[in-house]
Structure 1
Amino acid sequence: MLRRLTLTAVASFAALSAAAPAATAVTPLLPLPPLPVLQGDWTGGQDTRKTRLTVTVSESGNRTADGTFELECDPAGGTHPTAQRACDLLAAAAESGANPFVPTDRNAMCTQQAGGPAAARVQGTWQGQNVDARFSRANGCEISRWNNLVPVLPSAR
């Protein structure tokens, strides 16, 4: 039984191998039609430079600032409590060429001071770039990084 299956598989493979070159030799190659996905407005009408972020904050010391907020810019909106001010800060960072979401360099010399248990995560899109940044107040560098992003992040106590 196994011998018969093996012989059938080998014969089928040989027949297909011989038929494939003959089929391509007879059929001329035709150009493919353009793909509709690549024509026209492939962004779906959305501005790829628009800012849409989800900001999640915990243990900031300010109960009204803790939670998850949506931030949209151009125009400013969403559930973020200070959307216009936050968008203004992000626009100023973009104009200066600074990316406020870059993590602290691993080799940075940071003061060993505790800024509290506050933590935040920012996810979404800023200036057409994907963002997934985490913030804390674990040392001097992280405290400075957090403070530079206020009012996107709340002032922590």
Structure 2
Amino acid sequence: MPLRRLALSTALATALAAGLAGTAAGAAPAVPLPPLPLLSPPDSLTVTVTGSGNPAAEGSWKLTCDDRPGGDHPAAARACARLEGFARAGEDPFAPVPADRMCAQVYGGPVTAQVTGVWQGRRIEARFTRSNGCEIDRWENVEPLLPSVRG
């Protein structure tokens, strides 16, 4: 069960138990009920990679990560597991490199990737490049969501 759904299910069970205990004693529920887990959209991303010079690493794929990995992404299970790890750690793999970060001036090639969709209930529109050391690290950090393009 994805971490988001497990957390919401646990919160719902706790709130219901507390609310029912308060209602049985004649009081209003003590804890407001959280939104139902089924109302949050499933993780669904589109990954588009261009400019790698390697036909096997280029294309556009769909990835869904809900009860089980789906879509036509070539490494769906591993990509969903990687994203689940970010969610558990409270990390945002789609955050851009901070503008004030010092980055090694190493060029990793003209390859770019665009990731759009929904992850952990929020809209994602992220662009990845390999234009410097920070961007290369950012790309490699989300592999296998993005393909390995190391030479």
Fold agreement, TM-score > 0.5: yes
Structure 1 residue 70 corresponds to structure 2 residue 45: no
Q: Give aligned-pair identity as a percent.
A: 49
Which of these two proteins has the greater Rg computed from alpha carbons? Answer: 1
Structure 2, unmatched stretches of 5+, are 1-34
Equivalent-residue separation in structure 2 for 1:145 and 1:128 (angstroms)? 22
How many matched pairs? 115
Q: 1:59 to 1:46 in 2, by over 3 A?
A: farther
Unaligned ranges ≥5, structure 1? 1-41
CA deviations 1:23-59 (Å, max 9, x no partner) are xxxxxxxxxxxxxxxxxxx99x955252100000012
Number of the residue aligned with 1:136? 129
Separation of aligned partners in 2, 1:107 and 1:90: 26
Q: 2:138 aligns with which of 130, 141, 145?
A: 145
| Contact kept in structure 2, 1:60 and 1:154, CA below 8 Å | no
Normalising to structure 1: TM-score of the pair?
0.69
Q: Check 1:105–1:83 CA distance in 2 against 1; reply closer, same or farther (3 A cut).
A: same
Q: CA RMSD in A?
A: 1.8
Please identify runs of 4+ aligned residues in structure 1 that moved more than 6 A. Answer: none
Aligned to 2:45: 53
In structure 1, the residue matched to 2:116 is 123
Structure 1, 61-70 or 85-94: larger mean CA deviation: 61-70
Of 87, 91, 99, 2:80 maps to: 87
Which residue type is aligned with residue 109 of structure 2? G
Could you tell me how far apart the structure 2 residues matched to 1:121 and 1:87 are?
17
